[in-house]
Amino acid sequence: MGTEGENVRVIAGRYRLEARIGRGGMGVVWRATDQLLGRQVAVKELSVDDSLSEDEARQQRERTLREARAVAQLHHPHIIVVHDVVVDDERPYIVMELISGGSLAERISADGPVDAREAARIGIGLLGALRRAHEAGILHRDLKPANVLMEADTDRVVLTDFGIAQVAGATTLTESGAFVGSPEYTAPERMSGVRTGPESDLWSLGALLCTILSGESPFRRDSLGGILHAVVVDEIRPPAQAAPLLPVVRGLLERDPERRLDAAEAERMLRAFRDTGRTPRLMTPYTPTQRDVPKLAPTPSRTPAAAAERPPKHSTRGILVAAALVAAMAGAGVSAAALLMNDGGGGGPSPSRTTSTSSASGSSSTRPSSPSRTSRPASASPAPTVTVTRQQAPTSSARTAPSGYRIAPDPNGFSLAVPDDFTRDPQGERVFYLSPGQVFRLGIKVTEPAAGGPLAVMRAADAKGSSTNPGYRDGTVTRTTHDGQPAALWEFTWNGFTEAEGARHTYDLCWEEGGRMYDVWVSAPVGKVTEAKEYFDVAVDTFVPS
């Protein structure tokens, strides 16, 4: 039993709880003295759910202690040290090192956002902590600024609350479908109850980086339902302040966990930024395998568009995935949010052909085709609708080029950000920006509006996909919006124009704006989907009609 004096309690006959220094959904944190060793410590007194039966409470307590003891075996400079785990009066306590300094959330609240170099430093520390934990089979499950401590004297980054979130029911949909915790930092695959793995912690880190750079999570909304929709369905728009670290942020906020940037590569890229002031691109492109076919397809970061690509004397087309979210509110939480997404793949038009009914542009994305898709063309069924609840679009002057990109003012009446090493190659009514060796092909076409709008154009292009793109498959056309304008997103896989070129994937977005129809697409080998999606997102995000 804990003994109580006038203002203090002693638990386990050893730890004197002296002052409350924090409170959260999982319990209370005390400043305490270890009377045996004569040192200051922090003690977390975990909350007990009074609604649980005696047997359920015992199981929860055992689970808490088991996981806390596992975390105590972790040794890393950026992971909180767990000294002891005790039970007093049937209540579990975790004894940890006492960090003199507040949380990262408190720092941002008091001093405002940090700059990119500081964000990179914090990210490097957290990635080291996550890698060590993941190697030991431990997931954090509740990575957010409030769970990151900043040591006052050294500014050391310290990750706390490891492994406890699952036990306490925070941050994810539990087996029973209830939701509590920090949804703004929760990965979409956990929202949908599909899976939980190291990749989910990395998504949380991506959201955290956006928060500390801008002062607000990119998924903050006015309601829990709005947050769930933002995480699982809405367009992901990193804040302008994330531009210097954009390749890392976009890689971490990849909705498909199989394609998400891994910890080692993210750390390499952040270290390179700290050393050079520039964020490099991926060193080793992701190569999909049959096992890697995603259960969750990335949501279009911008609205869909359809068109025929004509790369260096070629043409390609892109289609994207259908996505829908169902979230129901019940009792104290949200019932399981069902994420229903269609995988998409596609090809591009043949070198000699264009489609008169489409705003001929094409983009090839790199996601592999899904074996679960049928051979029926996407146009045989109604196009799904994605309702996008977006943040205010930035003004033209705010659309600056991320690290590794430049703004390209184009004589065809627009500007956009393209990678530094891409070169312009006009081909008739289409304009291409090509990577060295033409591995990546970014295309743009500007036309007069067409009957039926972007959706009709994309559907027509999809219907002709097999005649214009060798090996066309997995085409998907999705109705959406772009900067509040009607748009359509087309994604597909195809075989490429030559055997040597190999299979390619295309993302293609078409929309109307100011009395014109715009089509932007990116085509790339299926083994380079991560880079292709980044180029596509940046191009569409920074596109400004002139």
> Which positions are annotated as active-site residues?
142
Give the list of residues 6+ apart from residue 86 with CB closer than 8 angstroms, or none. Answer: 11, 12, 14, 15, 92, 93, 95
CA dist 413 → 291, 516, 522, 525 (Å): 43, 11, 19, 29
Give me 91's structure tokens: 């209540």
From the CB of residue 369, how many other CB atoms can be counted at a distance below 10 Å? 22
Contact 378, 370 (CB under 8 A): no
Q: Which residue has the tokens 């689970």?
A: 63
For residue 33, the surrounding DSSP H or E stretch is strand 27-34
How far is Cα 72 from Cα 94, in angstroms, rounded to an integer?
Answer: 10
Q: Residue 27 burial (CB < 10 Å; 0-12/13-18/19+)?
A: buried
For residue 539, the one-letter residue type is: A
> Per DSSP, what are the bridge partners of residue 43?
30, 95
How far is Cα 131 from Cα 90, in angstroms, rounded to an integer?
Answer: 33
Residue 462 backbone phi and psi in degrees, to 5: -65, -40
How far is Cα 346 from Cα 352, in angstroms, rounded to an integer?
Answer: 18
Contact 432, 466 (CB under 8 A): no
Q: Which residue has the tokens 């060590």?
A: 132
For residue 130, the surrounding DSSP H or E stretch is helix 116-135
Chain mean position to CA 283: 19
For residue 432, the surrounding DSSP H or E stretch is strand 430-434
For residue 275, the surrounding DSSP H or E stretch is helix 263-276
Radius of gyration of the chain (CA): 25
Residue 264: name the closest of 196, 198, 209, 187 by CA: 198
Residue 420, phi-psi category: left (phi > 0), alpha (psi -120 to 50), beta (remainder):
alpha
Contact 201, 139 (CB under 8 A): yes
Contact 40, 31 (CB under 8 A): yes
How far is Cα 478 from Cα 413, in angstroms, rounded to an integer?
Answer: 26
For residue 421, the one-letter residue type is: D
